[in-house]
Amino acid sequence: MAQFTLSELYDYASRLAIPDVHFKALPITDQRDADDTWCIDPRGILTLCVSKSLYEQLGLVGTKLPFKKCPDRYVIRVPLKHETTSVGIQARQRAALGVWDRVRASEGRGRWRVAYVDPSTSTSRTVDEPEGYATADVTARVRRDADVYVSHIGDLVQSSEETTEDHQERLEALFEWVGMACLGAQRLRANDRVDPYVAVYEVPEPASIEDVTHLHWRGLMDNAFVRTMIDTAVYARFSSFLLFYFLIALVRRVDAMRNVGVTQIDLGNFTS
């Protein structure tokens, strides 16, 4: 994390926009920043999402969002890889970002607080760390649960014997179980003795009683790390030594939290 004006961040990220360095950044915003925001994705593109009034002040060409719930909202994409644009366009883009910086300064907001991921190593760095620089390690929370009902619902692909309705019901049951497993729900415990008038839940069959190790990461993470977790889970899923479920919540939660820039990974290791 660090503090930047948008012009400073543009200069900083542009120097890192090189092959194999997938820099990404998001602002840590408050309610005053709700109307105008931005992000830098691993492709090396700075995307601005701004109101009509700011769009007109910036003077850059963008696209109006077509959604009814986002009237007068515009998206502007600024490539950070300088070889993709001319010097003149780069100067115009940086000048426009300077306009936004001055608007923020006039409103008493100053620099942005920025969370970013820079996967380059210290030996390959060519830029100094910015003002207010601090690192935040994303570490796993580990939870171990004994004697838990684990669903072995089988292949996610619709079989030739299944109707579409049956397939959808089977997946819904699996997603429900996955969510409960991520939460460590008491209903999945083999010794659960809840009053049936209070709560009733049946684990999708077939199921078995096993021990669970649940690993949970949450934060702004390097793409390579997320990819490694997916590859590890998929590889181990077919291992003869461990049944390693890649909890489908990963896909759903990454999609659901994409707007706030958070990646959440849940992995469950189930062994009898």
Tell me the pLDDT tens digit for each residue of 18-33: 666 678 888 887 766 6
Are residues 109 and 215 located together in one domain of the fold?
A: no
- Asked if the bond preceding 130 is cis, omega within 30° of 0, the reply is no
Q: Is 175 inside any structural domain?
A: yes
Instruction: Please state the domain count of the chain.
Output: 2
Mean pLDDT per block of 10 residues along the chain (272 residues) reads: 88 74 80 80 90 93 87 91 86 94 90 79 48 71 88 78 89 86 88 80 87 81 77 59 41 38 49 44
Residue showing tokens 């907001």: 109
Supply the pLDDT for residue 131: 62
Q: Is 79 inside any structural domain?
A: yes
Supply the pLDDT for residue 99: 96
Residue showing tokens 């009733």: 200
Tell me the pLDDT tens digit for each residue of 182-225: 888 888 998 888 777 777 788 888 888 988 888 888 777 777 77
CA distance 143 to 11: 42
Domain that includes residue 213, residue range: 141-271
Are residues 147 and 267 located together in one domain of the fold?
A: yes
Are residues 105 and 149 located together in one domain of the fold?
A: no
Are residues 59 and 167 located together in one domain of the fold?
A: no
Are residues 234 and 267 located together in one domain of the fold?
A: yes
CA distance 57 to 43: 26
Q: Is 136 inside any structural domain?
A: no
Are residues 45 and 150 located together in one domain of the fold?
A: no
Supply the pLDDT for residue 119: 62
What is the separation of C-alpha 262 from the centre of its chain, rounded to a whole number of angstroms?
A: 4
Task: Count CB-CB contacts under 10 A for residue 230.
Answer: 15
